[in-house]
Structure 1
Amino acid sequence: MTAAITIVGLGPGSIHDLTLAAQTLFSQAAQQQQTVYFRTLIHPTVESLQQDLPTLRIESFDRLYDESQDWNTLYQQIAQEVCTLATQQPVIYAVPGHPLIGETSVQNLLQMARERQLSTQIISGLSFIEPVCSLLELDPFEAGAQIFDATNLAALSGDEAGGKIIPTVPLLVVQVYNRRLASAVKLALSEFYPDEWPVKLVRAAGINQEESVLELPLYELDRNTFANHLSTLYVPPLDELTALRLPETLRYITMRLRRDPDGCPWDRQQTHESLTRYVIEETYEVVEALEEQNMDKLAEELGDLLLQVYLHAEVARQDEEFTIGDVYEQINAKLIRRHPHVFGNIEVQNAGQVVQNWEEIKRQERANAGTDLAEESILDRVPQATPALMVAQEYQKRVAKVGFEFNHLDEVYAKLNEELLELQQAKTPEEQHEELGDLLFIASKLGRFLKIDAEEALRAANRKFKRRFQAMEELARQQQRALHSYTISEWSDLWMQAKNAAPDAPLI
């Protein structure tokens, strides 16, 4: 049975690369005076066909290029017109290269044909990839090359491209059809590759008299008019230690550090237990950068914290416990599962409902994991490595939900005074230790009533005290005196001078 739509590939450009099946189809169409619809006539094979088959009736969709607002609209329009024609008579639709390689119009057409129950047939053609690889002497399969459409790449932001481009494998960016697109491609690739990185712009591959290769640094990609509709950009791979913006590079480095025998002796000795202190230290350094609102420092400290994640994952991989892939899987699955209002069909009205859903989902997760929720304390699952003031306020928040809470702020102040009196009356070091803890616990309770994060309040006080004392040190240097030479009275005077120099520091 004759297909309603026959899609045929024209090859990369030379008439000699046209397949025998395609030549036979065009000859039959010429004999039967059947019109062949070309996506575009701007292709070298079309001119050769017109010379070899002067009776071949040719139509194209070039008129739509000026009428369409964007490429997606263009390819949709072409597919719609071909399907409409196919409802009246069999249609031959010809496209450059291979119909299924770099041809969005064909993908749209196949989908529409299925929806309209129109039969299709594809007559393969040599794609542009084969002659490009021949010029480059590149085996894309052995090299694991990526192939990216220039228009799609140019539409990505730097962050989006970061999740798709792998700079450590060869990259082919196809259909770099003009200088403007070359500029957009250059900007996207500059996220990963050095400006001086050598690239090759291949033009008219497979067309004997026209094919050529221009070698140039990446930053010059748009500084010429070499690119046209038959251009492909080849970007050679970066070395693993050069691709510094790539997550995979961090994985490689951590593996290399712990790899015997050419790794680092110190890194090879580390265990989950020995690395624990560094996780805590790096976490607090991230917090410090946030408090200072120092974005350059924050980027660095987040990297240090991320290193701890990769080091623990590498220790686990070598001990056959888990891999970094398991880490990604756990957090990605959790985020999807706990955001059904984003990735599912749950609707929420505000952030409060999001929190309620989150807690219920967490509760269900614990039940699915075999936790007996009836036996579970509301104070369970608060990490004890968390700063003590934060643990105290978290405990207080949880018990308040079930009614264990003061009714008024005055009651909190009264309890605070009571704990202070008990501390003053404590006689032994053990009693003083206990009563000081009680006092701090109630102080954090006061923070909750005042809607103040007790940990952050204390950290802010520490920062202000540091600035105040550093101002005192500077005054002492100006007076050319050692700190230990000051009397109590002189310390008081010095403190007041420092207070004037740093008025935001707390009194002592």
Structure 2
Amino acid sequence: MGRLTVIGLGAGALDALPLGAYRRLLASNAVYLRTDRHPVVDDLRREGVLFQSFDAIYDQADDFDEVYTKIVEELVAATAERGEVLYAVPGHPAVAEKTVRLLRERIPSAGHELVFGPGQSFLDDLFLRIDVDPVEGVLLLDATDLAARQLNPRLHTVLLQMYNPMIANEVKITLAEVYGDAYEILLAQSVGVAGQERMQRIPVYQLDRLETIDHLTTLYVPPSMDAHLLRRQFHELRAIVARLRGPDGCPWDQEQTHLSLCRYAIEEAYEVAHAIEQDDPDALVDELGDLLLQVALHAEIGAEDGLFTMDDIIGHLNEKLIRRHPHVFTEQTTLTSDEVISNWQAIKAEERRKKGTEHVTWMDRVSRALPPFAQAIKLQARAAEAGFDFTDAVQIYAKVDEEVRELSEARGMDEREDEFGDILFSLLNLARFYEIDPESALKRANLKFRARFDHMEQAAGEKNLEIRGLSLDLLEKLWQNAKENMRNEGNTLTDSE
């Protein structure tokens, strides 16, 4: 069994190199450096340290993952051949060292011992230069794999491994998404290297225009107290809603329950649909926010009751999306849209089976949670699958007439409501037969009525008359004129506000 010892070369100055690391470098007969592009390497040469570096792999490989994998495999082979190997990395072995993370698994699995020696990270010097105590909250992130979701404007942020302008360009785009183009950041280069250290404050948009960016470049993004920026963060929404529901919050918000909020979720969903139909991005942003507020309120009420939290909601959704898209997240297979839907239904059925809520009756496949119109259409379609359906429209018209007659003969509110429901159900059957979307049809009728009534009001105004208070005969005349005029003008119905 061999032994691989990993040490850190520190930030760059020889006098900052830990004594234990220095002694190991002088004593070892098998020294490997991840890279010789480090300020202390020239000093090591003058001290008589003999080593091999892996810089050639960087020139040959297509990406960093391939680089790190090859380095690890060569270290495993060297350990097996030589028994005792010393591997030196820039800074500290535990900070931004992908090869070390790979070695933690690979060396023991190859039957060798992995030992860690001393090292000093440049972060010690960086925190001194920027006057930051890490206990205040610091995000340390990899610039080569940065995503906007990782950033938190309330925290100090340090981006490591920003090796070149290409990476800087990607970082610039991501930072601009969260902080804006003009936000001031600090570019730190060769931190801890005497005579070479440089600090430069620049706006985000200038980041990829600097030609001095190299492998010793680090980026510091200071926290922001800008209210507009902070209020774009999801956790801010959660904090605001919690305050609204809190002891010193809003009386209306405090009074709400899951049940009292129910109608608002429906209303806001319709507002979202309207904004989409109007092709109005600004309105869509506003309405989606109102709908998200409903989710946040229900999550806060759930948390207060000790039943669930927003994290539970998000976690449940994410798990369901992954579970129901195996062709994307696990199997990596290509499916058509129809195959995706079929797969989705099969997965849902299996989920219901495991919960003991699988469909028992023929109609169980139609959700009881659907809105009445949509549920009626699906119930009728499901019945048709079983062969229980009208054969032509004439039969449906006859059914409508029958239900209208029964409504006229009904006595009492309950019976009238029951018969009126039967009329609607029959009319929806007719809509299904003609492949008419009943929601769209009723919406067109609403638009038509609104437009005609607006026309009536305008015509009355031209005669100095108020629409309210006119006789029914005059109103009917105005209505018929509106119908005729709009027909002649060929007016197109719109639903703009």
Q: TM-score range by the shorter chain?
A: 0.7 to 0.9
Aligned to 2:54: 61
Partner secondary structure for residue 101 of structure 1: coil
1:72-471 alignment to 2 at 5 Å? 72-90=65-83, 91-114=85-108, 116-140=110-134, 142-153=135-146, 156=147, 161-162=148-149, 164-239=150-225, 241=227, 242-261=229-248, 263-343=249-329, 351-352=337-338, 354-355=340-341, 358-359=344-345, 361-362=347-348, 365-366=351-352, 368-369=354-355, 378=364, 381-383=367-369, 387-420=371-404, 426=409, 434-467=418-451, 469-470=453-454
Relative to structure 1, the CA distance from residue 74 to residue 370 in structure 2 (aligned partners, 3 Å threshold; closer, same or farther) is: closer
Aligned to 2:24: 25
Q: Give per-residue Cα distances to partners, 1:71-109, cap 9 Å, x unaligned.
A: 223323333343444443354332211223212233344
Partner secondary structure for residue 222 of structure 1: helix
- In structure 2, distance between residues paired with 1:256 and 1:366: 38
Relative to structure 1, the CA distance from residue 93 to residue 300 in structure 2 (aligned partners, 3 Å threshold; closer, same or farther) is: same
The root-mean-square deviation of aligned C-alpha atoms, in Å, is 3.5
Letter in 1 for 2:36: L
Q: Aligned pair count? A: 487
Does 1:43 find its partner at 2:43? Answer: no
Report the Cα offset of residue 150 of structure 1: 1.0
**Aligned partners of 2:327 and 2:335 also within 8 Å:** no
Structure 1: gaps (5+ residues): none
- In structure 2, distance between residues paired with 1:391 and 1:73: 55
Greater alpha carbon shift after TM alignment, 367-376 vs 91-100: 367-376
Structure 2: gaps (5+ residues): none
**Aligned partners of 2:363 and 2:382 also within 8 Å:** no
- In structure 2, distance between residues paired with 1:193 and 1:166: 10
- In structure 1, distance between residues paired with 2:44 and 2:358: 76
Letter in 2 for 1:258: R
Aligned to 1:494: 482
% identical aligned pairs:
37
* TM-score, normalisation: structure 2: 0.84
Relative to structure 1, the CA distance from residue 378 to residue 211 in structure 2 (aligned partners, 3 Å threshold; closer, same or farther) is: same
**Aligned partners of 1:499 and 1:505 also within 8 Å:** no
Letter in 2 for 1:152: D
Relative to structure 1, the CA distance from residue 354 to residue 473 in structure 2 (aligned partners, 3 Å threshold; closer, same or farther) is: same
Partner secondary structure for residue 87 of structure 2: strand
- In structure 2, distance between residues paired with 1:276 and 1:182: 47
- In structure 2, distance between residues paired with 1:234 and 1:501: 65
Relative to structure 1, the CA distance from residue 474 to residue 12 in structure 2 (aligned partners, 3 Å threshold; closer, same or farther) is: farther
- In structure 2, distance between residues paired with 1:475 and 1:20: 95
Partner secondary structure for residue 382 of structure 1: coil
- In structure 2, distance between residues paired with 1:354 and 1:50: 62
**Aligned partners of 1:11 and 1:98 also within 8 Å:** yes
* TM-score, normalisation: structure 1: 0.83
